Structure formats: C-alpha cells, structure tokens
Amino acid sequence: MKNNEAIETVKEIRAMMEKSSRFLSFSGTSAILIGIYALIGAYLAHGLVSPVTQSPYTNGISTGISIYTLMLLAVVVFVAALATVLLFSYRKAIKNRTSFFNNQMYRTFLNFFLPLSAGGIFCIALILNGNVGVIAPAMLLFYGLSLINASKYTYDNIFWLGCAELLLGLVCAFFPGKGLLFWTIGFGILHVVYGVYFYFNIDRKRKSVEA
C-alpha cells in the first residue's frame, strides 16, 4: 500500500461518514430567494409599521390593525420561504439521486423547528402582550439558535449564518425602534449573502466535480 493510497482511503471514509450522516440536499439558490422574499416583505412592512417603529414601546392596542396585517405578512413570507427551501432541496435530492425523506432530513428539520417553534410561540405571546419592540430581536435570536442547532445535521457553514443572526439579534435588542432595519439585514441581506457564498462554494464546486 502506498502513502497516497492510504490518504485516499482515509478521505473516502470521511466523505462516506459525512454523506451518510448529514442532510446535504440544501441549495444556495433557495437561500437567495428567501432573502429576496424577506426584503420584499420588509419593504411592504415599512409602510405598515411606521408608527410602531417610531415609538417602540407602543401598546399593541393602539397599533392593533397594522400589527395583525404585519403578522399576516410575516406568515406569508415564512410560508413562501419554507415552500421554496423544500422545493429546491427536493429538486437537488432528485438531481443527486438521493432520497429526500431520509433520517438525516427528519433530524435536521426536527432540530431546526424545535427552537424555532418555541420562538414563534414566544413572539405571538409578545404581540398579544403588546411588547412589539422586542419582537424583531426575539425572532433573530431564535432563528439564529435554530440554525446553530440544525447545523450539526447538515452543512457546517449554517453554523456561521446562525451566529451572525444571533449577534444581530443581540445588537438589535439594544436599539429599540430599529427592529425592522435589523430584521431586514438579518432575514434579507444575510440570506442573500449566505446564498451567494453557498452557490459559489458548494453548488458550483459540486457541478464542476460532476462535469
């Protein structure tokens, strides 16, 4: 056995362990699209929430109408984002001839949605109690934690996206009234940046290997 051969073998073992234990059907394009949905959502929201952002501690009752419209908008953005991720991941799984509904996928989604659902319910409680000013940091924090949690079962680099969201959420918490701005950076711009990075470093590389 030659040296190169041994190194090659170790590499193969590593690759096989990685491939079989992680959910690798994620596509960079979907992250870019999510970012764009969030940017559109934020633009639309900007018109709706001007009174909220101007006075961060506004009681929920006085801004009742815009808050519910805003919630609806957030739900629409969220559903569109989720559908996009599922669709693109499913397509990538088919393209790579791997199954989409496998253990790794269930584990990734479970570990992502568990903290995220808790965050979602927490945000609903915040809205009902009229704590509108802390919703944006709470969303960013819980989203960041969900990403970090899920990163163990999928691409490592999602960990860094999670950290960035977490950091942004913390900074946001110190700037009441700037929630929408931080929300736009976190859910819009960071996703686009991450998606572009992912596309050039992972999607494209994979294509060139296959070619």
Cα 168 from Cα 154, distance rounded (Å): 23
> 25, 98 in Cβ contact below 8 A?
yes
CB of 205 to another protein, least distance (A): 19
Output 21 or 201, the one with its CB closest to another protein.
Answer: 21
- Number of neighbours of residue 185 by Cβ within 10 angstroms: 20
| Sequence-distant (≥ 6) Cβ neighbours of residue 11 within 8 angstroms | none
Q: Minimal distance in Å, beta carbon 9 to another protein?
A: 6
Nearer to another protein, 29 or 96 (CB): 96
CB of 24 to another protein, least distance (A): 11
Least spacing, CB of residue 91 vs another protein, in Å = 17
Nearer to another protein, 62 or 103 (CB): 103
Residue 7 CA, distance from chain mean position: 36
- Report the nearest approach of another protein to the CB of residue 100 (Å): 11
Minimum distance from CB of 19 to another protein (Å)?
A: 6
User: The tokens of 145 are what?
Assistant: 């934690």
Nearest residue (CB) to another protein, 107 versus 178: 107
Give me the amino acid identity at 63: T
Cβ nearer to another protein, comparing 101 with 174: 101
- Interacting residue ranges for another protein, rule: CB under 8 A: 1, 3, 6-7, 9-10, 12-13, 16-17, 19-21, 97-99, 102-103
Exposure letters 115-143 (e unless 16+ CB within 10 A, then b): bbeebbebbeebbeebbbbbbbbbbbbbb
Helices assigned H by DSSP within the chain: 3-21, 28-54, 64-95, 103-129, 135-150, 158-173, 179-183, 190-198, 204-210
Nearer residue to another protein within complex by CB, 19 or 207: 19
